[in-house]
Structure 1
Amino acid sequence: MSSLDENLRSSATPRRRLSREDRQRQLLDVAWRLVREEGSEALTLARLAEQAGVTKPIVYDHFTTRSGLLAALYQDFDARQTALMDAALEASEPTLESRAEVIASSFVECVLLQGREIPGVIAALTSSPELERIKREYEAIFLDKCRAVLEPFAGKKRIPQAGLRAMLGAAEALSNAAASGEISAGEAKDELLVSIVAMVTRTVDTSSS
C-alpha cells in the first residue's frame, strides 16, 4: 500500500471521542501543567483550550468561568488528598502516633505531588468571596475528618477548632516549604507530626485538670 493510501485511510478514520469524564480529566491535567509552567495568572479558559487542543466551547461547557476552573482544580486536589489519607488510615495502627503520622504524611505528600502548582491555586482561590467560600468548605470537611480520627485519643473533651485551625496552618506552611525546597519532606512531616500529637495531648491534659 502506498504512503498516500495510508494517509487517506488514517485521515478517514474518525478520532475516538472522549467521554465527558475523560475529557474533564484531560483538561484538568493540562490546567495543572499550565499552572506549573506559567503560574496561575496565565490560566484562562481560552489558554486552556489552546493548550488542550480543543475548542473554547468545550472548555466553557466544563467550567463556565475561570473561577469554576480554579474551583475544579482545588476539588481535584482535595479528592486526591482524601483518597491518599483514607487508604493510609485503613492500613494504620489505632494509636495516636500512627494516626497523626498518617495525617502529616498524607498532607505533605499530596502537596508534593502537585509541586509548586497548588500554592498558586490556593492563592488564586482567595481572590474572590465565592472561591474563598469553596476553599473554606473543603477545609471544614478536612478538619472534621481529622477531628474524628484524633478525638478517640483526646480524653473526654472535644478537640478545639482553634487547635485544628492551627494544625492546618502548620500543614500548609510546612508542605509549601517542602515543595519549594526550603526544607525536606521528612522535616515537614516530622514537624507536623509533633504539632498534631501536641495538640491532642494538650486537649487530654485540659480534660483531666
Structure 2
Amino acid sequence: MSSTHDNNRTAVKRVRLNRDDRLRQLLDVAWRLAREEGTDALTLPRLATEAGVTKPVIYDHFGTRNGLLTALYQDFDARQTAVIDAALESCEATLEGTGRVIASSYVECILAQGNEIPGVLAGLAGSPELEAVKRDYQQAFIEKCRKALGPFTGSKRILPPGFWAMLGAADALSHAAATGEITVEEAKAELYEIIVAMVGRSRQPN
C-alpha cells in the first residue's frame, strides 16, 4: 500500500507544465515569497526550492535576479492594465465617470499588491531593465488616459507635462495610502480632482 502511494506521488511530481504554465507557477511562488518574507528572499536558488523545480529551470525563465524582479513588475503591469481596461469599458461615459474609474482603478491596483511592488522596485533601483519596462508601461498608461479623456478635453488638449504630473501624483498618492499616511478614499478623491483639473485646463481659452 505504501509503495503504491509513493509511486503515485512520484507520478504527480513528474507532470510537466508547458512553458507558459510553468512561468505562471513560478511567478505565483515568487509573489508569495515576496509577500511573506520580503523581496530579499527572492533569490533564484530559493525560488527553485520553493517551486520544486531544478535551478536550470529557473535560470532558463529569468536568467538573473533582476530578470525575475523585472518579470514580476511586468506581471503586475499586465494585471493592472487588465483591471483598468475592464473598468473603462463599463464606466459611465462622462468626465466624472471616467475620471473616477481611472483614479479608483490605479489606487486599488497598487493596494492590491501590498508592499510587494515597492520591494520589487527597490530591488531593481537603478537597473536598465526596470527603466525600460517602467517607461513602456508609463507611456502606455498615458496613452490610455489620453484616449479615455479625449472626448472631454477642449481645443488645447492635454499636453504631455499634464499627464506626467498626473502619473507622478497617482504613484505618490497610491503609496501614501498603502503605508497608511492617508486613507484610500482620500487618495482616490485627490487623484480624481487632479484629473478633472487637468481636463479643465485644456478647456481654458488661450
Return the TM-score normalized by structure 1.
Answer: 0.90
Q: 1:69 to 1:92 in 2, by over 3 A?
A: same
1:91 maps to 2:90: yes
Deviations 1:129-152 (A, max 9, x none): 332122111111111111111122
Q: How does 1:137-148 map to 2 (within 5 A)?
A: 137-148=136-147
Task: Name the count of aligned residue pairs.
Answer: 205
* Residue 195 (structure 1) shift: 0.9
Residue identity in the other structure for 2:28 = D
Q: 2: CA distance between counterparts of 1:193 and 1:4?
A: 62
* Residue 6 (structure 1) shift: 3.9
Q: How does 1:32-47 map to 2 (within 5 A)?
A: 32-47=31-46
Q: 1: CA distance between counterparts of 2:2 and 2:75?
A: 44
What's the RMSD between the two structures over aligned residues? Answer: 1.7
Contact 1:96 1:150 in 2 (8 A): yes
Q: Which residue of 1 aligns with 2:29?
A: 30
Q: 1:9 to 1:157 in 2, by over 3 A?
A: same
Identical pairs, percent? 61
Q: Which residue of 2 aligns with 1:106?
A: 105
* Residue 184 (structure 1) shift: 2.1
- Could you tell which deviates more after superposition, 111-120 or 5-14? 5-14
Unmatched runs of 5 consecutive residues or more in structure 1? none
Q: How does 1:151-166 map to 2 (within 5 A)?
A: 151-166=150-165
- Could you tell which deviates more after superposition, 84-93 or 31-40? 31-40
* Residue 41 (structure 1) shift: 3.1
Return the TM-score normalized by structure 2.
Answer: 0.92
- Could you tell which deviates more after superposition, 55-64 or 12-21? 12-21
- Could you tell which deviates more after superposition, 173-182 or 186-195? 173-182
* Residue 93 (structure 1) shift: 1.4
Q: Which residue of 2 aligns with 1:130?
A: 129
* Residue 12 (structure 1) shift: 5.6
Q: How does 1:7-26 map to 2 (within 5 A)?
A: 7-11=5-9, 13-15=11-13, 16-26=15-25
